[in-house]
Amino acid sequence: MSKVRPTIATLVLAATAALIAALVVAAGPAGAEQSTAQATEDALPDAPVLNIGHRGASGYAPEHTFASYDLAVKLGADYIEQDLQLTKDGVLVVMHDKTLNRTATAPEGVPARYCRGPVSNRTLEQIKQCDVGSWFNEEYPEYAKPRYVGLKIPTLEQVFKRYGKEVNYYIETKNPDAAPGMERKLLRLMRKYELIRPAARDWQVLIQSFSPESLQKIHRLKPSLPLIQLYFAGSSKTVRTDLGAARAYAVGIGPDQQDVDARLISAAHRRCLAVHPYTVNEKPDMRTLISLGVDGMFTNFPNRLDNVLGTRAADDAMVAARQSAEAYRACRGG
Ligand code: G3P
Ligand code: CA
């Protein structure tokens, strides 16, 4: 992207005004003065709205392939997302589902069983023979491309090798209970590719999970790493109930977009937690969430969010990530 991004203050002012208005309505005239003061001091300091390419640009290309990640970066994503699975022989690969069934097919000559069942039952050598592009062409003919046929499942190491420090990563430990050692393997690879420090200092890597145990394990191993607690769809209230606990190890939360309201954002920001809802694919929803004050969002269509943000879209993904880290630190008192 090559946009000049004016100050984010406009966005924050609009979001703050919307939040104040909502609080004033909720509190009634008697509570107006107190609500205004609270809303003003609740907000995280200035930071851009992060554009997170969900499984890459998975609306346009086969999820978790280099084609999808490359396109996400091209379409304005500030982060590319990876879901992690562990093979039978202990290699971290990027794939959303626990099983190969939905996205993998066996090319001619490859035993069908290599591309069926749980990833954890297959070796890297086996799953490397699967095609994870063809399903997309069949499912989404409007975006189908001959070059997607035969795309392979990348290992996390291949992802780090390909993009190095040129992109920001948003990595999820998936099914960590069934994949003992996943966290240590992730940290080992981050260390090998010198991503620990840029993650801690500049949020070049954000680590997310639905599993608090997995995040707490990482927090114990490396307390400086920025972690995002994900929540399955529930309600604003169920997420709010957990924020005090999440704050002890996480820098932010990833709620289902349906659960995001002004009260959740206010409660999260009061605890200095960034709010990155998933998975937001429609422009009106993007606009609503931005006006509520979210700090980023996952989308299968990074260009749509880029378009909605317009001149407020981050000019430089690295700077955007760093500004988010700085806003968090400022909120937590340095
Ligand atoms: O990680 C945020 C979002 O991706 C969570 O949902 O199922 O797509 O991993 P899922
Ligand atoms: Ca995910």
Nearest Cα residue to atom 5 of ligand 1: 278
Q: Ligand 1 centroid to 25 CA: how many Å?
A: 33
> What tokens appear for 232 in the block?
């399955």
How far apart, in whole angstroms, are the C-alpha atoms of residue 314 and residue 162? 23
Shortest-distance atom of ligand 1 to CA 208:
1
- Helices (H) and strands (E) counted in the chain, each on its own, are 13, 9
At 43 the pLDDT is 60
Please give the backbone phi and psi of residue 6, each rounded to the nearest 5 degrees, phi first.
-70, 175
Q: CB under 6 Å to ligand 1: residues? A: 54, 83, 96, 172, 208, 230, 254, 278-279, 298
- Cα–ligand 2 centroid distance for 173 (angstroms): 8
Substitution site in 170, 175, 298 for ligand 1 pocket (most atoms within 8 Å of beta carbon): 298
**What averages of pLDDT result for each successive group of 10 residues across the chain (334 residues)?**
41 44 37 36 77 98 98 98 98 98 98 98 98 98 98 98 98 94 98 98 98 98 98 98 98 98 97 98 98 98 98 95 97 87
- Identify the residue whose C-alpha is closest to ligand 1 atom 3: 278
Mutation choice for ligand 1 from 83, 97, 102, CB with most ligand atoms inside 8 A: 83
Q: Give the model's pLDDT for residue 5.
A: 43
The residue whose CA has the least distance to atom 1 of ligand 1 is 172
Q: Which atom of ligand 1 is nearest to the CA of 172?
A: 1
How far apart CA 155 and CA 261 sit, in angstroms, is 37
* Cα 208 to ligand 1 centroid, rounded to whole Å: 9
What's the CA-to-centroid distance between 278 and ligand 2, angstroms? 9
- Which residues are annotated as catalytic? 54, 96
Residue spans per domain, the chain: 9-97+154-331
181: which residues sit within 8 A by CB, 6+ positions away?
86, 90
Reference 46, options 304, 293, 297, 300; nearest CA is 293
How would CATH label the architecture of 9-97+154-331?
Answer: Alpha-Beta Barrel (3.20)
Tell me the H-state helices in the chain.
9-42, 66-74, 124-127, 134-139, 156-163, 182-192, 196-202, 212-221, 236-246, 262-270, 283-292, 302-309, 317-331
Question: Residue 219: what pLDDT?
Answer: 98
E-strand ranges in 37-91 read 50-53, 79-86
